[in-house]
Every structure is written in structure tokens, then in C-alpha cells.
Amino acid sequence: MVKLAKPATAGCVGGVSARISRRFSTFCRPREAYPIENFIVIYDLSSGTVARIEDNEAIPVPKAAGNYLPKYVGPARTDLKPISITQPEGASFKVTGNHVRWADWSFRVGFTPREGLVLHQLRFRDKDTERPVINRASLAEMVVPYGDPAPVRAKKNAFDSGEYNIGNMANSLTVGCDCTGEIKYFDGITTDSHGNPLTIENAICMHEEDDSILWKHFDFREGTAETRRSRKLVIAFIATVANYEYAFYWHLFLDGSIEFLVKATGILSTAAQHPNEKTPYGQALNNDGLYGPIHQHIFNVRMDFEVDGPLNAVYEVDTEIPADNPTYTAFRAVDRLLETEQAAIRKADSSKHRFWKIANRGSKNLVNEPVAYRLIPTNAITLAADDKAHVSQRAQFARNNLWVTAYDRAERFPAGEFPNQSTGSDGLHVWTQADRNIVDQDLVVWYTFGMHHVVRLEDWPVMPRQNIGFMLEPHGFFDQNPTLNLPATIEATTDPGQCCNGHQS
């Protein structure tokens, strides 16, 4: 935070990001943070001086209260009864150093300043065989571009991972608030901005959660019912990036599925307009001039796949209606091999029910097809900004949902090594110009997804959690359902009503 000398507005401060020279917006804070619209400070971090002040059209500072703290909200409700989550016999996982074994899964937990939580050497034990799935997986980049053309927000596009080092913003987590149940914590070992060692205690939490029904069937002919409960292993960290909180979760499931989930909450970055006016670029939050601008939260996850070994290939799978369709009811899934890096720059397409398979063509399943995992492209947004926009040049990874590259240890971050000073000369769009072969190669899959945040009144004064993420599922990786050996939670019964009542989700 930088305190401005007079004649700037008394009692107001501005927030600065870690760049050589940067615009920052200003807020007046007698009790709460009220935006001072159209007042911009250009601050030179190298010299530690204010380089320029831009004072545009004066707009009254909103002052209507909007505080979420208990002393302002009033008494808490009392009609909710406690939910107790216990494991009397302890957790099912075993931890040795940073190595974890849970059910059929094994992996190593890592942490970096820029990425935060990293999972290494994800493997699944299939009968007596340890089968590799992913060698390394992490959040590689994120960008938050704003769609409001007003002076303060027109160039607002924070790279919360690459610019701010989201790992170093990790919270120290606590039982009962951030994590619930039988918890194992890992410290985040990282460095500060000067390269000194830094330990963030309890930066990562890991626990098991019940996950409703995994599979069920009542056979009315035999009068038998079988139900199995699902559970998942949760490995998570939470970072506070100025106004927003981002909770990042890796979920591992008993059937071999993997989910990456981002839970976004915190405080909106607000703006001001004239009282009783309504800008088309945001949602009015009160009648005093406060509004929440439209924006996006766009994430990219880097996954160094190793499906049954290091040599993999990627197929795009679309559902199509065949030309020969006399009954008008036919449709089928069609695979297309993506052979080069340029061919694998793809967007999701819900009209074709598109997904992608990461396959090992040298490893075959029961029906002589390549074993594979499929990436289901949920929350598959891309940049809404025009291609000519500055943010589009810097965050070109966000213009497509899928990228696939031949592994290169120097290619770590989709917007390049140094996005805070980038003009678009590094990153996925540059590396893929080589158009390398990606068939039966050591591959890295990059998936772009996010939240298109059209602000609503319910997001104020603190935003309820919004879930954003995607799934990875075995697709012919196993020869059949791998969870047939799960124990029933109650004995099988010929009374379907009793079984259903005992297993409701």
C-alpha cells in the first residue's frame, strides 16, 4: 500500500501490484473501502515515486454501508443444528514425508511460490499393478480481465499466479473453518520476494469426504439391491489475492476419476458511477453509485500426462449425426487424432458434446483399444476481450481451451516465464508455432477454463462461493468398473425401500 501526498484526497490509499510501473486505483477508507472513480496513480516501483496522476471526470464517492462483519450484520441465526464429521478409526490415507497413499491412489505433494499446490507422480493401483496417470499437475496461470472500458478498469487484468505468486498468498488453514474432518496438513515451503526461505504453516490440507452414491442397482427380478458409497480424497489450498479468495481443490475418487475445482469467494473489486445511474458494464449494488464491473476469472492447468507410460496421444471426440440416417435417430461419437501442436489448439463445443482423450496407443484394454483418460471440458470459457486488446496479447493461452505440447522442461507457464512485463512474446502461442509432433510422445496438456462473472446483487458485500472446474475420467483405462470390491455399508436386503432409505444421498 502507498500513501499519497496531498493534494490527493485525504484519508485515501491505493493498492500497488509488483510491477516496474503500474496504474493503481484509489479507495477512500474512513470505515470501509469506497472507490474513488477516475482517479489514477502511475507509480514507479523502481524509484519509489509517483510518476503521474490522472484525474478524470469527478464522480461522487459512494458511502452506503456494505459490511459483512457480524457486528454490522446482527445476531446469527440459531435454527441450524451441528453436523459432526468424524472418523473414529482415523483417516484411510497413509503419509510418509510428502508421499501419500489412499485407497488405490498414490502421489507426492509439492508446493511452489508461483503455482501453490502441485501433485506429482499420480498413480492408480489396478489389482497388483501401479499404473501411472499424471506425472505433474498444477495451476499454471490465471488472469482476471475486466470488461468495463472506464479508465480505471480498461487495463485491469491481473495475472494472479504469474505476477503475484499465488502460492506465497496461501492462507494458514484451520480445522472447522477451512477444512473439516480428520485432517492432515502440509506446510508450504517457499521463498519471499528477496529469495529468503519462507514457511507457510498448514498451507495445504488433506482429508476424506463422503461423496454420495457411487453405484446402485435394485434387481426387481431377483429382489436384491446393492449400493456402494463413494468418497473422495481432498487436497487443497486457499489463497487471498487482495480482494478475492481462491480455494483450489484436487479431488481423487475411488473409481479413478480426478476433479480440479476452484471455489471463488471474497470481495468484489467495485467501482463508482453517478447515483441512480446504471452502467451497461456492471451491476449496480445500491442506489448510491456503487457497482460491480463485469469481468472474468480464467485459469489454466498444466498436466504432464503419463497414461500407462510416457508416450501418449490426444484424440478429440465429437458426437455427430451420420449422413446415412434413415430412422433420423442415429448419432455416434467420432475420434479424431490430433497429430501436431497446431492441430491441438482447440475450443470446447457443447453442440458436439466434445471431449478429449489422452491415450496410450501402446497399451490396450480388454477390447483391444488404447487405454485412456478423458478430459471433460466444463466451465470452458475463453477471453471475451477483442483479439487486439492488450490482455489478449499477454494472455493468449486464454483464447483457446485446449493446448497440447511436446514436453520441454523450459515450457512451464502458459503466458510465459515473466507475464508481468510481457507484450506477448512468450508462452503457448509461441511454443506451438514449432508445430511439433504430438503422437506417441511425452505430452503436456494445458486446459483453460474459468468463470464469466456477470455480477449479481447477491455477490455483495461478500460473495457466496462459486465453483469452477473440470473432470478427468478413466475412458477404457480399466477393463470394468474398478470399484466392485467396495464393501456394502449395510447388508443386502430384499426390501428395496429399506435399502433406499439406508443409502439416500
Q: Using one digit for the tens of pLDDT, what is the confidence trace for 149-182? A: 998 888 888 899 999 899 999 999 987 788 888 9
Q: What is the pLDDT of residue 484?
A: 96
**Whole-angstrom distance, CA of residue 350 vs CA of residue 487:** 37
What share of the chain has pLDDT > 70, as a percent?
91
Q: What is the mean pLDDT of residues 381-397?
A: 95
In CATH terms, the superfamily for domain 62-71+77-502 is: Copper amine oxidase, catalytic domain (2.70.98.20)
User: Within 10 Å of residue 32's Cβ, how many Cβ atoms?
Assistant: 15
36: pLDDT confidence band, cut at 50, 70 and 90? confident
127 DSSP assignment: T
Of 419, 344, 399, 335, residue with least CA distance to 370: 335
Q: What is the mean pLDDT of residues 379-383?
A: 97
Q: What is the pLDDT of residue 505?
A: 38
Q: Using one digit for the tens of pLDDT, what is the confidence trace for 304-322? A: 999 999 999 999 999 999 9
Q: What is the mean pLDDT of residues 81-105?
A: 95
Mean pLDDT in the chain? 90
390-395 CB contacts, 8 Å cutoff, 24+ apart = 390/155, 390/157, 391/143, 391/145, 391/157, 393/423, 393/424, 394/143, 394/157, 394/159, 394/419, 394/422, 394/423, 394/424, 395/141, 395/143, 395/145, 395/157, 395/159, 395/298, 395/419
Q: What is the pLDDT of residue 20?
A: 44
Please list the active-site residues: 160, 244
Parse the chain into domains and list their residue ranges.
Answer: 62-71+77-502
Q: What is the pLDDT of residue 361?
A: 98
Q: Using one digit for the tens of pLDDT, what is the confidence trace for 42-92? A: 888 888 899 998 888 888 888 887 889 999 998 999 999 998 888 999 999
Report the sign of the C-alpha dihedral through residues 497, 498, 499, 502, in that order. Answer: positive
19 has a pLDDT exceeding 80: no
99: pLDDT confidence band, cut at 50, 70 and 90? very high
Q: Using one digit for the tens of pLDDT, what is the confidence trace for 122-140? A: 999 999 999 999 999 999 9
More confident residue, 395 or 504: 395
Q: pTM value?
A: 0.91
420: pLDDT confidence band, cut at 50, 70 and 90? confident
Owner of C-alpha cell 453436523: 83
3-state secondary structure of 148: coil
CA 187 → CA 44, 98, 349, distances in Å?
Answer: 34, 10, 40
